[in-house]
């Protein structure tokens, strides 16, 4: 089995990975609630934890809050499942700082988004990741999400970066289902390809992916884990049933600004005491609440 980056195995990150919400209490991070939520995920079969990504409201967390959430997650995980800490920024220096903290906190890898807003070229993106990996000896998963960052890392640039030992994979949120196969052909099967789009996970896995960093897993962790287990075991009958059952829930998680639907859904199952999100995001409308509630009933999570 091939090993890269500090001896981390590529297949360490596969199956159902959750893009964790960050619960709040009186406007601050609910540390106890968050750690309880993480423990529940481990017990439900989630394969890896991803704190302080976009779903964790990283854009509106202070640096101190961001770092604290990573520490809280690692503290609960205790090595039982991997932790991939969000560490991206459109400032290379800031991304280096957050990646360094992720390493110091004990995270197994960092999830680093392509630089948003300032629209770097392909060469600029290459240099961004190269500088991060030169500065910090921690495995890095590239997060390619053109819908939020505007820039789209090409397969060619990703193939260049894959030659750096610490660049171990990608969270692909392009929704381009030709991309994982093109990436696999260009880089090889060792490169860890994780979907960032719940609704297309079946096709993504068929095209060479190995897992999904999931929003839906926040509220259906066991079902999402079972979906990936069924794929691994080539139990396509079970896989198809779970795929179809989860689809309305995938849609509901993005019926309004994410992660408001996921936080409200977690609130319905008493896993998030306060479902509020920080401005400029807005809390779920009554219509959104009904959409989420209906999807939870459809999935068999609520009666």
pLDDT tens string 123-140: 999 999 999 999 999 999
Q: What pLDDT digit, counting tens, does each position of 196-207 carry?
A: 999 999 999 999
Would the pLDDT of 303 be above 90? no
Quick check: is 75 in a domain?
A: yes
Residue 173 inside a domain? The answer is: yes
Alpha carbons 232 and 164: distance in angstroms, whole number? 28
pLDDT reported for residue 7: 41
Q: How confident is the model at residue 53 (pLDDT cuts 50, 70, 90)?
A: very high
Phi and psi at residue 81, to the nearest 5°: -135, 155
Within a domain: 88: yes
Give the model's pLDDT for residue 5: 46
- Residues of the chain by 3-state class (helix, strand, coil), percent to 5: 50, 15, 35
Whether residue 4 has pLDDT greater than 90: no
Other Cβ atoms within 10 Å of 59 Cβ, number: 12
- Look-up: residue for tokens 């079972």? 226
User: Residue 98 in contact with residue 104, Cβ under 8 Å?
Assistant: no
The pLDDT of 211-225, averaged and rounded, is 98
Phi, psi of 122 (to 5 degrees): -60, -40
pLDDT at 126: 98
Which helix (H) or strand (E) segment is 220 a member of? Answer: none
3-class DSSP assignment, residue 31: helix
pLDDT score recorded for residue 36: 98
Q: What is the mean pLDDT of residues 211-219?
A: 98
Domain of 218, CATH number, reads: 3.20.20.70
Residue 300 pLDDT: 96
Q: Which domain holds residue 186?
A: 12-222
The answer to whether residue 262 is domain-embedded is no
Say whether pLDDT at 1 is over 90.
Answer: no
C-alpha closest to that of 266 among 14, 24, 52, 84: 24
Distance CA 33, CA 132 (A): 32
Q: Provide the 3-class DSSP secondary structure of residue 25.
A: strand
Residue 123 burial class via C-beta count within 10 angstroms: exposed 0-12, middle 13-18, buried 19 and up: exposed
Strands 24-25, 28-29: pairing kind: antiparallel
Please give the model's pTM, rounded to 2 decimal places: 0.95
Terminal Cα-to-Cα distance of the chain (whole angstroms): 45
Task: Report the candidate in 66, 132, 134 with the shortest Cα–Cα distance to residue 105.
Answer: 66
- Indicate whether 257 belongs to any domain: no
In a domain, 234, yes or no: no
Query: Does 279 fall in a domain?
Result: no
Q: What residues are labeled active site?
A: 143, 171
pLDDT of 9 over the 80 cut: no
What is the overall mean pLDDT for the chain? 95
Query: In this structure, what are the phi and psi dihedrals at residue 218, rounded to the nearest 5 degrees?
Result: -55, -35
Tell whether the model's pLDDT for residue 14 goes beyond 70. yes
Q: What is the mean pLDDT of residues 129-152?
A: 97
Given this model, what pLDDT does residue 12 score? Answer: 75
In a domain, 89, yes or no: yes
Residue 28: CB atoms within 10 Å: 8
Overall domain count for the chain: 1
């Amino acid at each position: 089995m091939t090993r890269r980056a500090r001896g981390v195995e590529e297949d360490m990150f596969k199956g159902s990975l959750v893009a964790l919400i960050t619960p709040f209490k009186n406007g601050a991070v609910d540390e106890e609630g968050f750690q309880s939520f993480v423990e529940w995920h481990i017990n439900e079969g989630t394969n890896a934890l991803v704190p302080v990504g976009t779903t964790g409201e990283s854009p509106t967390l202070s640096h101190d809050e961001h770092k604290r959430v990573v520490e809280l997650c690692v503290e609960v995980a205790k090595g039982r499942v991997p932790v991939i800490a969000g560490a991206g920024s459109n400032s290379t220096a800031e991304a280096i700082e957050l990646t360094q903290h992720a390493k110091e906190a004990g995270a197994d890898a960092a999830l680093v988004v392509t630089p948003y807003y300032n629209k770097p070229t392909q060469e600029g993106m290459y240099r961004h990741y190269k500088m991060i990996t030169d500065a910090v000896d921690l495995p890095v998963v590239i997060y390619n999400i053109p819908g939020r960052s505007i820039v789209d890392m090409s397969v060619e640039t990703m193939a260049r970066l894959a030659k750096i030992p610490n660049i171990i994979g990608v969270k692909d949120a392009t929704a381009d289902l030709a991309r994982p196969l093109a990436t696999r052909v260009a880089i090889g099967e060792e490169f860890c390809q994780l979907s960032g789009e719940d609704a297309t996970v079946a096709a993504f896995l068929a095209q060479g992916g190995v897992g999904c960093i999931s929003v839906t897993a926040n509220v259906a962790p066991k079902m999402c884990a079972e979906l990936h287990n069924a794929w691994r075991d080539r139990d396509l009958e079970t896989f198809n049933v779970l795929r179809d059952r989860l689809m309305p829930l995938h849609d509901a998680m993005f019926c309004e600004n994410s992660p408001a639907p996921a936080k409200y859904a977690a609130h319905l199952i008493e896993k998030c005491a306060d479902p509020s999100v920080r401005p400029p995001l807005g809390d779920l409308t009554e219509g959104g609440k009904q959409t989420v509630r209906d999807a939870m009933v459809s999935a068999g999570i609520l009666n």
